[in-house]
Amino acid sequence: MIIAVIILMLCGCWDQKLLKNERNVSIGGLDQGPHGLLRATVSLRDIAVTEAGNKDTSEVHTVLARTTEHARELVNQEVSGGYSPAKMRVLLLGEPLVRNHDVMPYLDVYYRDSKSPLNARVAVTKGDTEDLIRIKQVGLKTIGLYTDDLLNSMEQSTAVPHVDIQTLHPLDRGFDFSLPYLIIREGVPTVSGIALFDGIKMTETLNLDESKLYMLLSNMKNKTATITKKSVDKNRTDSYDYVTIDVRKLKRKFKVTVSDNQEIKVKLQLKLRVSVVEDPSNHLYHMSVMHKLEKLLSEQLTDEAKAIVQKMQRAGHDGFGIARRLMAYHPKLWKQIDWKKEYPEVQFDTRVLVEIANTGITQ
């Protein structure tokens, strides 16, 4: 009886983890180290409570380890208090690492440990992640929080895809993933586009303009998506000659067909209903001008879309999930072909159609 009561009272004592004893990681980065080792950098977040209010500070540690779990142990030896990755918001991967190495082994512990943060965002940095994490603080925000907010706002404006550790688990989903690509500009982390992956290896980058269109082509429009394009002539560069459109509605037709002689053809048609948010030349009150603008925008976007698709094919990046469709609808063909060889040969029929729906409160 006494034992029963004691057990009931002690419940949870074995596994208690007090927040005050934990050192939480807000951002972590994995880099390529010498001799096949892994260089891991973490920023630990501390909140100092003073009379003036709470103040966020961060402490950066870099270790050279064999695996991610080994890195955790090493960091744990360096810092005071128990090390806990549970609150990590962003996981960064250095470009050299993802270009030359298979990163999946390093991620294993994130999938295996039940306390690991599966919803942490993942991004690639140009150069080493350590340089970015060492910035420590941008304005009032610590680097972890800053990067997380930055990625979040870029996701909202359809510039980069939302990828967290869970969605990264790329065990042959039939499509390749792409990650936000971060650079450091004037000492501040900035998103410069996306990094395209071929399987688990990074092969190519897209700049912000391209990545926006890439996102639209993959039907991943988020809250807003604005595009600024030339409005009159492709070759003129006067500030009057630009127009900014906001994509309101997106209709995507995506069809993968296989012809009789086993040729794979992809038809990708994008219909954008847009509203004009900026048009300095103010001439949209003519219907004919508007139609001309529609046509011009459609042409420009179609050309760019084609260029992006070509880039993807060259990089071996199947971001639209054509492989998935082949597996689902043409399982027999899928078993016969060597997809890595076949993908660059796939014929794309890409088209973007722009339709102006409204023009704001001025015409």
Partner 1 sequence: MMIGVKEKITSGQLMILIIQTQIGIGILFLPSTVEAVAKNDAWISVLMAGVASSLMILIMWALSRRFPSMILFDYLPLLLGKIAGKIVHVIYAMLFILECSLVMVMFADVVRDWVFASTPIWVILALMLGTSVYMAVARIQLIARFFVLTFGLIFVLILISTYAYRDADIMYILPVNGVGFPSIFKGMEKSLSSLFGFEILLLCYPNVIGVSKKILKAAMFGNIFSTCIYSFLVFTCLIVFSPEELRVIPQPVLYMVKSLSFTVFERADLYFLTIWVVVVVSTVISYLFMSAKSVSTLFGKKKHAGSVPVVALIILIISLIPHNQEMVNMLQNIVAGIAAVAIIVVPPILLGISYLLKIKGKEQTKG
Helical pair 104-112 and 68-78, crossing angle rounded to 10 deg: 70
Q: Is 277 in the site for partner 1 (CB under 8 A)?
A: no
Identified binder of partner 1 from the candidate list 57, 329, 340, 347, rule CB under 8 A: 329
130's tokens: 């350590």
Q: Are 314 and 345 in contact (CB under 8 A)?
A: no
- Let me know how long the chain is: 363
Q: Is 12 in the site for partner 1 (CB under 8 A)?
A: yes
Identified binder of partner 1 from the candidate list 299, 328, 347, 363, rule CB under 8 A: 328
Taking the C-alpha atoms of residue 129 and residue 127, their distance in angstroms, rounded to an integer, is 7
Q: Is 172 in the site for partner 1 (CB under 8 A)?
A: yes
Q: Is 248 in the site for partner 1 (CB under 8 A)?
A: no
Coil vs helix vs strand at 40: strand
Residue 317 C-beta: closest distance to partner 1, Å: 18
Closest CA to 243 of 276, 275, 271, 212: 276
Identified binder of partner 1 from the candidate list 1, 2, 14, 54, rule CB under 8 A: 14
**CB nearer to partner 1: pick between 96 and 321:** 321
Query: Which window, 65-73, 169-177, 230-238, 283-291, contacts partner 1 (CB under 8 A)?
Result: 169-177
**CB nearer to partner 1: pick between 25 and 274:** 25
**CB nearer to partner 1: pick between 133 and 256:** 256
DSSP, residue by residue, 267-298: EEEEEEEEEEEE-TT--TTSHHHHHHHHHHHH
Q: Is 8 in the site for partner 1 (CB under 8 A)?
A: yes
**CB nearer to partner 1: pick between 4 and 287:** 4
Query: Which window, 114-122, 140-148, 180-188, 207-215, contacts partner 1 (CB under 8 A)?
Result: 114-122
Identified binder of partner 1 from the candidate list 5, 171, 287, 361, rule CB under 8 A: 171
State CA 149 to chain mean position distance. 13
Q: Fill in the DSSP letter of residue 85.
A: -
240's tokens: 């009057």
Coil vs helix vs strand at 347: strand
Residue 25 C-beta: closest distance to partner 1, Å: 15
Closest CA to 197 of 168, 225, 220: 168
Residue 216 C-beta: closest distance to partner 1, Å: 19
**CB nearer to partner 1: pick between 21 and 310:** 21
Q: Are 177 and 197 in contact (CB under 8 A)?
A: yes
Q: Are 156 and 224 in contact (CB under 8 A)?
A: yes
Q: Is 357 in the site for partner 1 (CB under 8 A)?
A: no
Identified binder of partner 1 from the candidate list 50, 54, 80, 114, rule CB under 8 A: 114
Q: Is 219 in the site for partner 1 (CB under 8 A)?
A: no
Degrees to nearest 5, angle at CA 15 with 12 and 18: 95
Identified binder of partner 1 from the candidate list 1, 2, 5, 7, rule CB under 8 A: 7
Q: Are 38 and 61 in contact (CB under 8 A)?
A: no
Site of interaction with partner 1 (CB under 8 A): 4, 7-8, 11-12, 14-15, 111, 114, 118-119, 164-167, 169, 171-174, 321, 324-325, 327-329, 331
